[in-house]
Amino acid sequence: MDYPRELLESLYRGMVRIRICEESLVEPILKGEIRTPCHLYSGQEAIAAGVCASLNEKDYVFGTHRSHGHCLAMGCNMPEMVAEIYCCEAGSSHGRGGSMHLSAPERGMIGSVPIVAGTISLAMGAALASSIRGEDRVAVSFFGDGAAGEGVLYECLNFASIKKLPMVFVCENNFYSTHMPIRECRVDKNIYKVGIPFCVESSQVDGNDVLAVYEASKKAVDQCRRGEGPAFIECLTYRFRGHVGPDDNIQGTRMDIRPKEEVESWLQKDPIKRFEEYLLINKIIEEQTLHNIRREAEVEVAEAHRFAKNSACPEGDALARYVFK
């Protein structure tokens, strides 16, 4: 396919912003400056960037415990997101939510929830509302492979199919449900097949290929806009960091979870490096432009951290604020 240079540059910029922002959190986490549990998105950037590039400003996104990437891909305010991760009053949830409760409804990021599969039904409700109101909004639910073990996914697949709701189910399969390899908890590792019995258009793509993700997402979103019902996309990928925190996943470190050889193999499939090679080999974008994009992202991320570190924490007497009974 012929892609506009503007789209390709935007996809690259989106992935780089996510990666640099995520990696910038490692040191503050290890120093104890960031104390909220952080599930880093490094390695999975092509999914957030590719899916969100197929959406418009009216659409809805619902995230998970690992949603920094989704938030940034939807154009959310980076300083406010980083401030929320530091649990500051200036954060997007006023410091009450931390890393796993991010929201920016003005950008279509309705919210993220750490409960596994917890936002699938919320996205379905948003899709139902869009359908009833005739608003032409598409709702996207991001979830991990672990969510395929939760009953709510199947209930929502069934209901969304019956009502032909404008909803895209996006499974980010990084092959580990927390610390359990998918081969140990599923008879059939091909998760996308769960949509087939419900007559949901289902596909599996290389989640480290941003253009493959974009194409599958664009097809799914267009299908939703035509009123032809939901779609299910399984994106095969791999997280470069631990399940939670920077380094709880490699044999020889404190948790002894994933084989070192496996991690190193996936590092060779880095979605950003793959896309850089594509852009350079095809002479679409020159190296200097890519360097400039990376440098701009570094400056933006550094400024976001300065904003967060200069922001106040919530006052103790405000503990019950935003709590309703």
pLDDT for 11: 98
Q: pLDDT digits over 32-89, tens only?
A: 999 999 999 999 999 999 999 999 999 999 999 999 999 999 999 999 999 999 999 9
Q: Kindly report the backbone phi and psi dihedral angles of residue 144, in degrees, each rounded to the nearest multiple of 5, phi listed first.
A: -90, 175
Which CATH class for the 5-315 domain? Answer: alpha beta
Res. 102: pLDDT tops 60: yes
Q: Is the Cα torsion angle 270, 272, 276, 282 positive or negative in sign?
A: positive
The CA-atom distances, in angstroms, between 288 and each of 278, 293, 302 are 15, 9, 21
CA–CA gap between residue 251 and residue 229 (Å, rounded): 44
Residue owning tokens 């095969």: 236
DSSP letter at 313? P
Domain boundaries of the chain, sorted by first residue: 5-315
pLDDT for 249: 53
CA–CA gap between residue 79 and residue 93 (Å, rounded): 12
Neighbouring-strand partners of residue 111: 62
CA–CA gap between residue 54 and residue 145 (Å, rounded): 22
Res. 299: pLDDT tops 80: yes
DSSP track, 158-210: HHHHHHT--EEEEEEE-SEETTEEGGGT-SS--GGGGGGGGT-EEEEEETT-H
pLDDT for 180: 85
Average pLDDT, the chain: 94
* CA 243 from centroid of its chain's CA atoms: 14
Greatest mean pLDDT range, 92-101, 258-267, 286-295:
286-295
Q: pLDDT digits over 11-28, tens only?
A: 999 999 999 999 999 999
Half-sphere exposure of 6 (CA within 13 A, CB side): 0
pTM: 0.94
Q: pLDDT digits over 190-200, tens only?
A: 999 999 999 99
The CA-atom distances, in angstroms, between 170 and each of 137, 264, 325 are 16, 26, 34
